[in-house]
Amino acid sequence: MDMSDEKADLERQLRRQSLWLKDSWYWIIEHEILSNEPKGRGTLALDVGCGPGFVMEALRPILQPKGVDSDRDMVIACRSRGLDAVEGSADSLPFDDGSFDIVYCTFLLLWLKEPRAAVAEMTRVSRKWVACLAEPDFGGRISHPQELESIDPLIEEGIRNDGGDPFIGRKLRSVFRSCGLDAKVGVHPGVWDVGRLRAESEDEWKWVEMTTSGGREDSSLGKARAAWEGSLRDGTLFQFNPIFYAVARKPG
């Protein structure tokens, strides 16, 4: 798989995630943040590690978002769709202290060697609120039938091999606390009905294969897929992938 194919697959996965979680993000921002703020003015927000901008697009009706990403191609992708984005690193954001009302990230911290450094920078450039809107914890996956559990260590290994932390979700409160933030931590609804599982099945397996082995064949993966397809046909498949969030108001 060449780099262009990898980026295309990554963008497809990011778009799928934004569609799954959009309603939940709205609830978090409106219930946990905007309900505690004065009405009547726009809310300036920074999306750290914005990628191609799908989260910014989703949240534009309720926020005034700007994006920052270390990948120039992602910044260009944002701008091509009329989104405001600049190039910059999460651990050294190119903004003054207190530049934004809300600073948030999604599916970023699991890929950082020093997630604390990113949250510290997010805190610095925020006036009031710091949020991680989505981080997974692959150690908390629940699958049925049991044969599907063989996928989990392969996913964890694949993420580690790519430099990620598959257990970042459970660490969010600790990371925020290390930056002087008392975060409210929760989990997104994450159980699909059988109809949704059937609709998402091909893309889910493409993601599993990309994550676990870069597309190479694996005997346990093949057995797991057979179990997946059999239980999908008879309507007994169950899959829960925990995605956590954390929201904190900046002290002072």
pLDDT, one tens digit per residue, over 83-121 is 999 999 999 999 999 999 999 999 999 999 999 999 999
Nearest to 247 by CA among 135, 131, 107, 169: 131
| CB neighbours of residue 6 within 10 Å | 12
At residue 154, what is the residue type? L
Give me 181's structure tokens: 């933030």
- At residue 135, the 3 state secondary structure works out as strand
Asked whether residue 92 is domain-assigned, the answer is: yes
Confidence tier at 134 by pLDDT (50, 70, 90): very high
| Contact status, residue 197 vs residue 239, Cβ threshold 8 Å | yes
**Structure confidence at residue 41 (pLDDT):** 59
| CB neighbours of residue 46 within 10 Å | 24
Whether 215 shows a pLDDT value over 60: the answer reads no
Asked whether residue 151 is domain-assigned, the answer is: no
- Report the CATH number at residue 30: 3.40.50.150
Asked whether residue 49 is domain-assigned, the answer is: yes
pLDDT mean over 32-52:
86
Asked whether residue 208 is domain-assigned, the answer is: no
CA distance 116 to 193: 36
Asked whether residue 150 is domain-assigned, the answer is: no
| Contact status, residue 184 vs residue 131, Cβ threshold 8 Å | no
| Contact status, residue 159 vs residue 146, Cβ threshold 8 Å | no
Candidate from 49-53, 99-103, 177-181, 204-208 with smallest mean pLDDT: 204-208
Report in angstroms the alpha-carbon separations of 32 from 28, 137, 144, 188: 5, 22, 34, 14
Note down the domain range covering 96.
3-140+164-191+240-249
Asked whether residue 200 is domain-assigned, the answer is: no
Asked whether residue 77 is domain-assigned, the answer is: yes
| DSSP symbols for 181-237 | ---EEEE---B--HHHHHHHHHHHHHHHHHHHHTT---HHHHHHHHHHHHHHHHT--
Give me 28's structure tokens: 């978090």
Q: Which residue in the block uniquely carries the two structure tokens 């498949």?
A: 237
Please tell me the pTM assigned to this model: 0.91
Residues 6 or more apart whose Cβ sits within 8 Å of residue 110: 135, 136, 159, 164, 165, 166, 168
Tell me how many domains the chain contains.
1
